Chain A
Amino acid sequence: MQGLIALLEQRVLKKFKGSFMSEYNHPYKDVDFVIKEIVEFDSFCQNAGLEDINSEFASVILNEAAKLGSEVIAPLNTTGDSQGSSLKDNKVQQADGFSEAYQQYMENGWSSLTAEEEFGGQNLPNLFGTAINEVWQSANLAFSLCPMLTQGAISAIKHHGSDSLKQTWLPNMIGGQWTGTMNLTEPDAGTDLAAIKTKAVPNDDHYLISGQKIFITWGDHQMTENVVHLVLARLPDAPAGVKGISLFVVPKFLLDEQGNTTSQLNDVHCTALEHKLGIHASPTCSMSFGDNGGAIGYIVGEAHKGLSYMFTMMNHARQDVGLQGLAISERSYQQALEYAKERLQGTNKDGSRFSIIKFPDVRRMLMQMKASIEAMRALAYVASNETDKSRYAKTAEDKAKHFSRVELYTPIVKGWLTELAQEITYLGTQINGGMGFIEETGSAQHYRDARILTIYEGTTGIQALDLVGRKTLFDKGEQLTQLLSEIEQTSVDLKQYPQLTQLAVSLENAVKTGQEARSWLLDNAQTDKSAAGSVSVNFMMMFGYICGAWMMAKSAIKSQQKIDSGEGESEFFKAKLVTAQFYFDHLLPRIQTNMAIIQAGSDSIMSLPEDQF
C-alpha cells in the first residue's frame, strides 16, 4: 500500500513539477557525451588553466537550467504560440506566463552566465552559454530570443562602449533587470544596411535619434522595468554608405542621475507588430524613434564605426541562430519519437496492435532526425568551444588559429544547421501523419517556428556567400585546407579500429570531394564572376555534411573505445555507432550531389535573360 501511495505521490510530484506538460526533456546523455568526448572539454579547461571548471561542473549547471527550461519555460511554448503578443496604446503585451517565467530566469541568474565579472557576470566559458542556450531554445524558441538579443546588446556595449557607458548599462542588462534589442533593419535597409536612413543629431552630452526601424525582436514588452535599444543611425556629417553608420544606446525609459530607471518614457515606441508564420510569442516590432523631437541616445564607441561593431558580434549571433536550428530539431524529434512509440497503426497476426515505430520508413525518418541532430550538436558545441580556445590561447599564433576556425565555422553552423532544421521539423510532422498537420499535437508549431531560422541573422544565401567569399576565396582556401587535413587525420585514426574501416574509407573520400570542390571554386571564381554565387549554397551544404561526418566519425571512435574498454553504458555507445553508420549511409552521400551541381557551375543558373522570367 505504501508503495502504491508513494507511486501516486511521485505522479503528483511530477505533475506539480510540470513534467507531464513540458514535453521537453533535456537530452543530457548526448550533451554530456559531446562535451566530454567530442569537445574534450576537460583537457581544454586544463590547458586554459581554468580552475574549478570542468565537464562535471557543466553537467551540474546544465541540470539546473534544464529543470527551469523543462518545468517552467517549455510549458509556455504552446500557449505562447496560440496567443502571441498584442499591441495596445503603443505597449506590447507579451503572452501569458512569460513575465513570471522571465522573472525566474532572471532571479536564478542565468542572464549573467558568460558575462564579465566586473559587471556582475559569472565569466563562464562560451561553451556553457551554448549548451544552456540550447535548453532555452528547445524549451521555447520565442521566449529564448529575448535573452539572446540581450546577450548581443551586452556584447556590443562591452566590446565597444566607453567605460561610463559600460558602468551605466551593463550591470542591469547582465543582471537581467533590463533586456536589450538590436535595431538594424529599416524598410529599405535589410541585408543592405548601407541604405540606413535613421538620423542621430548631437545635442549636449547625447544625441537625438529619429527614424523608423522594423523587424525588432522583443522591441517592447512588460517583463522588465526597462528595455535598452541598440540603434544604427547616421550622424549629420556621415559619409554615405556603410562607412557612415554609428551605433547608439537608446533606452525605453530615461535614467536618473544615479542610473536608475525613471518613469519618463523616451521618444521611442512600438507602432506595429508583425503577423508571422512562426515564433508567435516573440513580438516583432516596428519601432518609431523621435516622433516628438528625438529619442535620447548615447553613442557606442566612435562615430561612423557602427557597422564594424556589429560585425564583431556576428560570429556569436550567427552561431547562436545555428544552435536554434539544433534546438528546434531536438524538440521536434522528441515530439515525433513519442508519437511514433504510442501511435498504434499495425496489426499482428494474433490481432494485437503495434505502434508505427516498427515500420521501416518511420524508422528511416527517426534515424535521419537522430543522426542529423547528433551531428549538429557536436558541430555547434565544437564551434562554440573554438571561441573559448581563441580567448584562452597562450600565444598570439594559437589565438589567431582558433579565431580563424571560428570564422570558418560560423557560416557553416548558421547555414547548414538551420537548413537541416527545415528537413528535420518536416520529418517530425511527417511522422505524425495527419495529426502532424493538426496544431494540437505541437509538431506543426516546431515546423513553423523553424522556418525563420534560415532567414534572420543573414539568410542561407548570405552565409554561403560568406563561406565562399570572405572565408575561402579571400585566403585562397587556406582555412579549408587546414580543416580538411584535420578531417583526413580522423580518417586515419578510424582505421585503427577494424569495425570502423568502412567509415574510414567514406570519410577519406569525403575529404577528397571537399578538396575538389575547393579547387573548383578557386579555379572558376577567377574566370566566371557568377561562379562563386551560383555554387555557394551547395558548397556550404557540402562542407556542412563533411563537418557532420567528421563529428560522427569522432563519436564512433570514442564509442568504440568505450565499448572495447567495457566502460560506461554499452547500449548508449552501440547506438552511437549505429547512428554514425546511418549518417554515413544516408546523409554523407549528399555531397556527391552537391559536387555535381558545383561542377555544373553558373551556366544554367545565369544564362536565361531576365525578361524570360
Chain B
Amino acid sequence: MLRFILKRLLHGLAVLWVVATLTFVLMHVTPGGPFDRERRLPPEVLANIAAKYHLDEPLIKQYGRYLRELVQGDLGPSYKYVDRNVADIVRDTLPVSTALGLMSLAFALLISFPAALFAAYYHNSWVDRGSMFLATLGISVPHFILGALLIWIFSVQLGWFQAGRWGQVTSVVLPTITLGAAPAAYLSHLLRSTLLETLGEDFIRTARAKGLRETVVILKHALRNSLIPTLTVLGPLVAALITGSFVIEYVFAVPGMGRFFITAVTDRDYPMIMGVTLIYTALLVSANFLVDLFYSVLDPRIKAY
C-alpha cells in the first residue's frame, strides 16, 4: 500500500514538472510579450521592466529560478496586477471555483442517482427512455449554450435568477446547474448500465427469493455492487468540472480562477498563466490520486500497483 502511494505521488510530481516545463517553454517561444503595447515603450523603460522581472537573464537561468521559487510555493509576480502576486490572486479566486465545482458535483450526484435507479428499475419504460434521452442531450450540449439558454429563460424572460453578481443565492443556482448538467447526464448513463448488469446477477435473485423488500434489494444489494465504475470516472469527472468551470465563469461572470486565466491569456500575463495552469494540474492530479486510493480500498480484489 505504501509503495502504491509513493509511486502515485512520484507520478503526480512528474506530471507537475512536465507541465511546469511545458508552460515555461511555451510561454517563452510565444511571439510577442506582455509589454508590447500599441504605443511602444521607450527602450530604457523596457530594459528596466525586463531587469525587474529577470527577463534579461539567459533562459536556462530563468527556468532554474522559476522552478526554485515554485518549490517554495512562490508562483511569481503578476505582470498585470502590479501590487499582487499570482499566489495572492489564486488564494482569492480558488475558493470561488472550488465552491462552484463542489456544488455542481453535489447537483450531479443528486440528479443522477435517482434517475439511474428509476431508469434501471423500470427498464425500457417511458421513465427509462425519457431520462436516457435527456442524458444524451445533457452530454452533447456545450456549456456555453446551456448557460445562455438558462439565462435567457430564467433570467431574461422569467426574472427568477440573476446572471452574474456571484455570491447571492439567486446567482449561484444557474451556474451550478449548467456546470453539473453534463456530469449528471454522464453519471446517470453509466450508473444505469451497471445497475442493469447487476440486477441480472444471481445474488439479486437470491435476495429476492429470501423475501427481502424491494428497496433493500435495490439499495443495499444492487446499488452497492454497482458503485465501482461510477467511482472510477470521478477522476475524469473532476477534470470535466475544472475545464467546464472556465466557460461557466466566463458566461456567468463568476470571479473564479478560470475567469482570471482567460483574462491572463488575453493580457499575456505569463506568470499568471503558468501559475493557474499548475494549480489546475495539481487539482487534477490529486483528484486522480484520491480516486485510485479510494478505489483500491473499496474493492480489495483490485491490486493497486
On whether the two chains bind one another, the answer is: no
